[in-house]
Amino acid sequence: MTTTLDVSSLPLVPKNPLPFWQLVKLVRRLDTGQEVIRDAGGPLTRIQFAPKNVYPPIVAVMSPAGMRDVLGRSDASSDRCIIHDEVRAMAGDSLWVLPNELWRPRKRALQPVFTKHNVRDFGGHMSGAAQRFVDRWPDGGDVDLDVECRKVAMQSLGRSVLGIDLNERADTIAQCMHVASSYTADRALRPVRAPSWLPTSARRKAARAVAAMREITDDMVRACRADPTRDAPLVQALLTATDPETGQLLSDEDISNDLLIFMLAGHDTTATALTHTLWILGHHRDIQDRVAAEAAALGDRELTPADVPRLEYTVQVLHESLRLCPPAAGVARLATRDIAVDGYRVEKGSLLAVGLYALHHDPTLWPDPMVFDPDRFSPEKVKARDRWQFLPFLGGGRPCIGEHFARLETTLALATIVRAIEVQSVEPEFHCEVPLTTVAKGPIPARLRPRR
C-alpha cells in the first residue's frame, strides 16, 4: 500500500547559524563558499536574509538525498529561478532558461540531436584541435594552459557547432562571454536590483556583448538555411529537428538562441575542464604517464570517438578532475510549492541552491576530498556509489543536454595532448572564479616537454 507523505508535518530546513554579514559574502562565492555554509549548518541548511515576503529564503542543498529530492523529481514542484530569468531577459529563450512548460517541447525536439550516437557526427573535432595545440609546441616551452586550452575549445566548438574556426574572433567572443555572464550572475545575486527596463551602463555593455555573439550565430543559421550542404553539422541538425509529438520545427530565432548558450556554456566548461585536468596531471607524473601510455597504445593516428571506450583510465582521470573542479559549481531552482527535501520541508517560493561543489568535496562522502585519486572512479567503486553523489552534469529531469558532447570532447583532447606532451605545472594552486560556470582565473603557467 502506497502512503502519501504529508509535507506539512515535516520540520522546516534548519536555519544556518552563521552571521548575516558572513553569509552575504559566502553566497556570492559560488564554489568554496558552499563548504563554509555546509560545515556550519549541515548539508541541508536555510539562509534567511529578510522576511520571506521581502526576499525568498535560500535553501542550500548539498547531500545526495537532497540532490535526488530536488533534481530527480518528475513533477512541477520546482522551476527556473531569478538567475535563469536574467539570462533569458538578456539572451532570449533557450533550452537552459525556459520554464518547464516551454522547456518540454524544446527538449523533445533537441534531445535526439544530442544522443551518444549523433554527437559522434559533430563532436569529433576535438582531436584535431588538440593536435594543433601539440603542433604549436614541437620542442615544448613555457605556456599558459588557460590560453592554450581556450584555443583548443574555441576551435573544436566552432567547428562542431557552427562549422567554422572561431579562433579568429576568440578574443572578442571570450570578452563578450565574460561580460554577459558576469552581469547576469551579479544581478541575480543582488538582494536589491535596478528595474530591468532601466538602461544602466552595465546592462548596455552586456547587451552589446550578447549582440556581438548573436551576430555570429544568426549569420550561421542564415548561411545554413541558404546552403543545406554547408559543413555545420549541429546547425544543420537543429534546422531539421522537430518535436516528435507535434512535428513542429524550431524557429531560426530559437536555434540561434540555443547556439548562443551552447557557445557560452560549452566553451567555458570544456576549456576549464581541460585546463584543470592538465594542470593537476602536471603535479602527478605517474598518473600522467599512465594516461599517455593508454592513448599511445591506440596507435600513432588521430583519435576518434570510437576510441573513447578504450580510454577507460583517461575517463577516470577526467571524472576525478571534474569532481575537484566541477564545470558548474551549483545550480538553482525555485520551489513552486512546499516540498520534502532530505527529510525536511522547503517552503513554496524558496530558492533551492544546489551545491555541487560542496557535494563533491564532502569528506563524509569522499575521504581526503582534496586528494587527486582517479581510482575513486574505478568501475567497482562507481557501481557501489550512490548515483546522486557525483553530478558534474547534473541529473534527473533537467540534466545538461550537452553531457555526451562534453565528455567526448574532453576525453579526446586529454588523450591527444598527454600522449605527445609531458606537462609540468608551475603553480601549486589552481585559481578559478565562478561568474556562472567555473572558469580558470588565469594565467595557469606550465612547462611542456615533448614525449620521445
Q: pLDDT by residue for the chain (452 residues), tens digit each?
A: 445 678 989 999 999 999 999 998 898 888 899 999 999 999 999 999 888 888 889 999 999 999 999 988 766 677 777 777 777 777 788 887 788 888 888 888 888 777 777 777 766 678 888 999 999 999 999 999 999 998 888 888 777 767 776 766 666 666 666 666 676 766 666 666 666 767 788 778 878 888 888 888 888 899 888 888 887 777 888 888 888 888 888 899 988 988 888 877 777 888 899 999 999 999 999 999 999 999 999 998 999 888 999 999 999 999 999 999 998 888 888 899 999 999 999 999 999 999 999 999 999 999 999 999 999 999 999 999 999 999 998 877 777 777 888 888 899 999 999 999 999 999 999 998 887 788 888 799 999 999 97
Report which DSSP code applies to 307: G
Q: What is the pLDDT of residue 1?
A: 41
The strand pair at 351-355 and 330-335 is best described as antiparallel
Kindly report the CA angle at 433 between 213 and 374, in degrees rounded to 5? 110
Residue 331, strand partner residues: 354
Distance CA(355)–CA(387), nearest Å, equals 16
What is residue 208's three-state secondary structure?
Answer: helix
The strand pair at 339-341 and 141-144 is best described as unpaired
Which amino acid is residue 114, in one-letter code? F
Residue 337, strand partner residues: none
Q: What is the pLDDT of residue 68?
A: 93
Q: Are 329 and 31 in contact (CB under 8 A)?
A: yes
Q: What is the pLDDT of residue 183?
A: 67
The residue ranges of every structural domain in the chain are 7-450
Q: What is the pLDDT of residue 3?
A: 54
Alpha carbon distance, N-terminus to C-terminus of the chain: 67
Q: Which residues contact 26 (CB under 8 A, 6 or more apart)?
A: 18, 33, 34, 36, 37
Q: Which residues contact 319 (CB under 8 A, 6 or more apart)?
A: 374, 376, 377, 390, 392
What is residue 44's three-state secondary structure?
Answer: strand
Topology classification of domain 7-450: Cytochrome p450 (1.10.630)
Picking from 164, 168, 304, the residue whose alpha carbon sits closest to that of residue 231 is 164
What is residue 198's three-state secondary structure?
Answer: coil
Half-sphere exposure of 263 (CA within 13 A, CB side): 38
Picking from 54, 106, 71, the residue whose alpha carbon sits closest to that of residue 355 is 71
> How far is CA 94 from each of CA 97, 102, 210, 264, 425, rounded to the nearest angstrom?
6, 10, 14, 12, 38
Q: Which residues contact 7 (CB under 8 A, 6 or more apart)?
A: 338, 339, 340, 345
Which amino acid is residue 122, in one-letter code? F
CA dihedral of 196, 197, 203, 205, whole degrees rounded to 10 = 160
Q: Which residues contact 211 (CB under 8 A, 6 or more apart)?
A: none
H helices present in 227-344, as ranges? 233-240, 252-281, 285-296, 312-324
Placement of cell 572561431 in the chain = 166
What is residue 29's three-state secondary structure?
Answer: coil
H helices present in 92-140, as ranges? 100-110, 116-122, 126-136
Which amino acid is residue 174, in one-letter code? A
Helix (H) or strand (E) holding 141: strand 141-144
Kindly report the CA angle at 230 between 227 and 236, in degrees rounded to 5? 90
Distance CA(243)–CA(109), nearest Å, equals 4
H helices present in 111-232, as ranges? 116-122, 126-136, 145-157, 170-188, 201-226
Q: What is the pLDDT of residue 2?
A: 44
The strand pair at 439-440 and 421-425 is best described as unpaired
Which amino acid is residue 240, in one-letter code? T
Compute how many other C-beta atoms are within 10 angstroms of the C-beta atom of residue 312: 12
Report which DSSP code applies to 420: H
What is the chain's length? 452
Q: In whole angstroms, what separates CA 342 from the centre of its chain?
A: 25
